[in-house]
Amino acid sequence: MQKRKLGNSNLEVSALGLGCMGMSFSYGPAADKQEMISLLRSAVNRGVTFFDTAEVYGPFTNEELLGEALSPFRGQVVIATKFGFKLDPKGGPKWVGLDSRPQHIKKVAEASLKRLRIDAIDLFYQHRVDPDVPIEDVAGAVKDLIQEGKVKNFGLSEAGAQTIRRAHAVQRLTAVQSEYSLWTRGPEAEVLPTLEELGIGFVPYSPLGKGFLTGKINENTAFDSSDFRNTLPRFTPEARKANQALVDLLGQIAERKKATPAQIALAWLLAQKPWIVPIPGTRKLERLDENIGAAAVELKSDDLREIESAASRIAVQGARYPEQLERMTGR
């Protein structure tokens, strides 16, 4: 597995990371813990060194899973986690708002360190921008944690360009994480140029469109009742039917390259910038191997032009989030 540096930082990670949320949260019932420990360790053995989690995934259970699974590999792997949600005080599975007050950030950091069984958090993201807390205060709190040796790198998730600039002025950002793929291209307008200018890495989550770009989902696919894709406008049967054209395009290129649609979707992202590190998630070893294989797929400039030209004629149907969640992005 090739390595990449996140922007101008010294944080070097595998060209493809592993998004771990779905092992515990959001995509139906949580997977078997021992199976996921085995999968995480298999990922390390295959060269993956970058793992993404958050306190809210579970809550807490995903961080605990990574803490146990990756404890034999201290110093060999980079674990990113996140703060910024207010969790149900009654201990329910839902978050109840945002909370990026400095004292809360520091409390979350202490708890995450224990669950992850580490001495310092490699990359600490603000999960969503909190409109009630100036981003300068957030960056200042993380700066304090970095000076205390509890955090190594600062990141933002789903932030807008101006917020990125303001945060970076207080504490250098190593990475910004947002959804980005062939069917979610919002970051191209302002965020990616800002990151390039400032020397900040970019970590696309849902690089396979929450599974849709793999070609394994169609308009008739039924999801488990607890799967959050049931709530997403882009996953209504009508939207899936309309968006199939994008998967068909990936399939055509994949056939020619002797690859899979998922590998073409990931290879396309890797070809955009050398400081982009996608974090596809999976619960299955064969999918992990398929995703890792994308790093070896070479898309030449002609291939990229063809994809761009064909994709530009496909209008993606459906918002990526319900309105309440959409309002929390790009701020």
Cβ-proximal residues to 64 (8 Å cutoff; 6+ apart), any chain: 58, 115
Could you tell me which of 123, 158, 154, 159 has the C-alpha nearest to residue 139? 154
State residue 98 phi and psi, 5-degree precision: -110, 150
- Rg of the chain in Å (alpha carbons): 19
* Residue 124 parent element (H or E): strand 123-126
Question: How far apart are the C-alpha atoms of 182 and 125, rounded to whole Å?
Answer: 24
Could you tell me which of 157, 175, 182 has the C-alpha nearest to residue 331? 157
Question: How far apart are the C-alpha atoms of 97 and 242, rounded to whole Å?
Answer: 33
* Residue 95 parent element (H or E): strand 95-98
Active-site positions read 57
Q: Which amino acid is at 36?
A: M
Question: How far apart are the C-alpha atoms of 140 and 222, rounded to whole Å?
Answer: 45
Q: Which two tokens stand for residue 173?
A: 């950002």
